[in-house]
Amino acid sequence: MQEAAKVMPESSFPAASTTAEYERSAAVYGACRPRPRYWLHGLLLLLTFFTTLVTGARMQYNFSHNQPALSLSDDSVPYFPVSWIVSNPRRILQGLPFAATVMFFFLAHEMGHYLYCRRYGIYATLPFFIPMPTMIGTMGAVIVIRSPIRSRTALFDIGIAGPIAGFLVALGFLVVSMAWSKPMLVSAHASLPDIEIGYPLIFRWVRDGLAALNPGSALARLPLSRMLLHPVAIAAWVGMFATALNLLPGGQLDGGHILYAISPRAHKVVSRAAILALLPMAYYFWAGWIVWAIFLQASSYRHPQVAELPRVSGIRVGLACFALFMLVSTLTYSPLGIHPLREAWPMVRDLVQPAFRWLNQHWLSQH
């Protein structure tokens, strides 16, 4: 059970002329910290490492047999091939490059948040990894912040530390693994995979940079759609996509925290604009954006209550511009192929219409 002192209302804060004066006047919470559940962190870490090893082994097998890493063709192994691994346990070692990369990315991102929480004396848990038998083997990782964030500068630093740490890690792995990728065979290109990933600008910039350094390489002038990405490059893509999602400017996402720290008033306007922008993106490009639009809307009702002073200034303004750069360079309007909501709408309508007819008839019969 946690016990907390009463909180001073925001209006009761005296005007602070200096940071030191502000810190003395800030509301202070006294809380009993729960005991860390190290066993749960360790268990989830091991389970996530296993699920990413399984999916990584599948990607490595596809890559070694000149198939796209995410291929779902008949020539590839099953979607989440546990039985395939059990039949030959040594195969799981093939998943090490992908698993180590994607786990290190999520660890770097969450530890960026965690370390800055520690710096500001804010209690936060260690990362909870989320195992999931998906095409990447995980749903990422989260930390839980259990004490209030008292200032806008603290909110800004905690919010931006994770994306910067994760982005730099993903960028390093991308530069290295892009050189390990190889051209796609004509036969593989003729039968495109069921899952075609969309490439953000950072992938194109890295490819162009490597081509400028080595113009004679086989990949120098090859479009990204004609390349077989190494599983480590797929892990880097996962990291860039996760960075873009976290930097969406709204709600309780990192981008929302950064924006709220800079300007609480702008946060409300930009959050609504982001939701409105995601709706046509879902309709015309990728249906998954509708989920993120709903999430932004649902998480926009509450936000950390921080004092007005001190405001974000100085080098943090430059870091905010860098956050915008990271968002632009990692975001792609169609991350998992062109699967717009408008294509799924006829199927959804056919499923929903009988229910509406039944409700309509049932309602009319009673009224």
Residue ranges covered by each domain of the chain: 27-366
Q: Quote the tokens at residue 247.
A: 């930097």
pLDDT tens digits, 20-71? 333 444 444 445 677 888 999 999 999 999 999 999 999 999 899 888 888 7
Higher pLDDT, 308 or 100: 100
**What mean pLDDT is predicted for residues 141-164?**
93
Least confident of 138-147, 253-262, 269-278, 293-302: 293-302
pLDDT of residue 14: 35
Q: How far apart are CA 110 and CA 176, in angstroms?
A: 23
Residue 234 has pLDDT above 70, yes or no: yes
pLDDT digits (tens, 9 = 90+) for 179-221: 898 888 765 554 555 577 889 999 999 999 988 888 877 776 7
The pTM score is 0.83
Q: Which residue has the higher pLDDT, 14 or 173?
A: 173
Confidence (pLDDT) at 247: 96
Q: Is the CB of residue 243 less than 8 Å from the CB of residue 166?
A: yes
pLDDT at 137: 93
Question: Which of 20-24, 64-68, 112-116, 357-361 tops mean pLDDT?
Answer: 112-116
Pick from 59-68, 158-167, 274-283, 294-303: least confident: 294-303
